[in-house]
Amino acid sequence: MKTARLHEYKKPLVLEDVPVPDIQADEVLVAVKACGMCRSDVLLVDGFFNAYSDIPRPITPGHEITGVVHRAGSLVSKSAIREGDHVVVAPGWGDGTCRHCLVGNTQICANVRWPGFGAYGGFAEFIPVPARYVIKVDKRLKFEEIAPLTDAGLTPYRAIKKLRNAGVLGPDRVIGVFGIGGLGTYAVQYAKLLGSGARVVAFARNPEKLALAKEYGADDVINIKRKSVGDIAGELKALTGQGDIDAAVDCAGAQETVGLATGLLAISGYYVDVGFISDRIDIPLFPRVSREQTIQGSFWGNNTDLAEVMALAAKNKIRHTIETFPFEQINSFLDRLREDEIVGRSVLTF
C-alpha cells in the first residue's frame, strides 16, 4: 500500500510502498478514502511533540480518517460492523480500564494510542483500527467532508459543549471564537448551534478568514491585526454593547490569542483552549482570581462527541471549506499549512 512516513524530524515525509497491515481478531481494516491534514501534522514533522513523547519511527501521520471497512476480525460483531460500511475513525484509543475510559473519555487515557502518531495513520491506503473506535456514518456523506470532522470538527464541538454545560451561554451573553482556521470555522457554526442564542464574535487577522466566519454565522467579526486589547475592546463594545466576552474558544492557542481572549474575559468568564501554536503562555494571574474566571483545556473528543457531530453532518447542519489533494502532493500541502496558506481544511483523498 502507499504510505507517507516520517523517518527524520524536520524532513519531508517519505512516500513509499509497504505491506498492508494484518489485523487482530477485535480489529477492522479500514480502506482510507480521505484523511484531513492538521496543523498537528506539521508540529509532529517539525518535532514539537518530542518534549512530551518519544514516538518510535517511522511514523505514519494523519489522524482525520474516514473510509470503508475492508475486512473485519473474527471477534467483531457482524451486527455492529460489516465489510463495506462507511466509517470514521475515533481519535483516542484508550486502554479500556482506566477511570477516564470507563466514562467514555478514551482520548485522555494515560495509556492512549492516537492514530497518526505511531506506526499507523491516515496518510496510508489502509489502517488497522480496534472495532470499538470506528463509527458508522451515512453513506450519502462525502468522505472529503467528514474526514476533518474527526478533529477539526470534533475538537471545537467538545469545547463549546463545555461552555454550554458550564452555564455561560445564553441570549444575553457574548462568545468569542479566536483563530478562524481549520477549527475556527467549525467553532463558529457550533457556537450558533449550541449557544442558546449567544452573540458570536470571531477574532482573527486574516480578512478572508473573517469573511468566511461571517458567512458561517458569526454575528460580528473583528480584525485583531496590530491592535491593542483596549482597541479591540472598544470595537467589541461598539458592536455588542459590552467591551468584554462571557465565553471564549481559542482555536489557535497562540500567545497573542491567549493574551487577547483572557484580556477580554468578563467577570466569571470561561475560557476554553483547544489550540497550541505556542507552547508557553504568560498572562496576569490577579484578574483570573479577582474576577473568578475559569481557564480550561479541551482535548479532541470522545466517541459520543464524534457520533453527535456525525449526526449533525447527516442533517446538513455543518458547512465545509475543503481543498482536496492527491497522495503525491502531501509534502507541498504540509508546507502550505506551515506557512498558514490554507483557508479551511485540506484533505488527502485516495
The CATH number given to 2-152+301-349 is: 3.90.180.10
3, 60 in Cβ contact below 8 A?
yes
Q: What's the DSSP call for residue 6?
A: B
Q: Which residues make up the CATH 3.90.180.10 domain(s) of the chain?
A: 2-152+301-349
Position 211 scores a pLDDT of 97
Helix (H) or strand (E) holding 222: strand 220-223
DSSP string, 73-117: -TTS-TTT--TT-EEEE-S-B--S-SHHHHTT-GGG-TT-B-TTS
Phi first, then psi: what are they for 304, rounded to 5°? -65, -45
pLDDT of amino acid 278: 87
Instruction: Report long-range pairs for 326-330 (Cβ below 8 Å, ≥24 apart).
Output: 327/2, 327/4, 327/15, 327/123, 328/15, 330/4, 330/13, 330/15, 330/37, 330/123
Name, in order, each residue with C-beta under 8 angstroms of 215's C-beta and a sequence gap of 6 or more: none
What is the chain's percent helix, strand, coil content, to nearest 5? 30, 25, 45
Name the phi and psi angles at 166, rounded to 5: -80, -10
pLDDT reported for residue 280? 87
Q: What is the pLDDT of residue 328?
A: 97
> What does the pLDDT read at residue 119?
96
pLDDT of the residue at 281: 86
Within 38-188, strands assigned E span 64-72, 86-89, 126-130, 134-136, 174-178
CATH 3.40.50.720 positions along the chain are: 155-297
Residue 7 and residue 58 in contact, taking contact as beta carbons nearer than 8 Å: yes
The owner of cell 470507563 is 102
Residue with cell 458570536: 200
Buried b (16+ CB within 10 A) or exposed e, 55-85: eeebbbbbbbbbbbbbbbbeebeeeebeeeb
User: What local confidence, expressed as pLDDT, does residue 79 receive?
Assistant: 87
Query: What averages of pLDDT result for each successive group of 10 residues across the chain (350 residues)?
Result: 98 98 97 97 95 93 98 93 97 96 97 96 98 97 98 98 97 97 96 97 96 97 97 98 98 95 98 92 94 97 97 97 97 95 93
CA atoms within 13 A of residue 338's CA, in its CB half-sphere? 15
Q: Write down the pLDDT at residue 54.
A: 87
- Tell whether domain 155-297 is in CATH 3.30.1330.40: no
Other Cβ atoms within 10 Å of 272 Cβ, number: 25
With a threshold of 0.85, does the pTM exceed it? yes
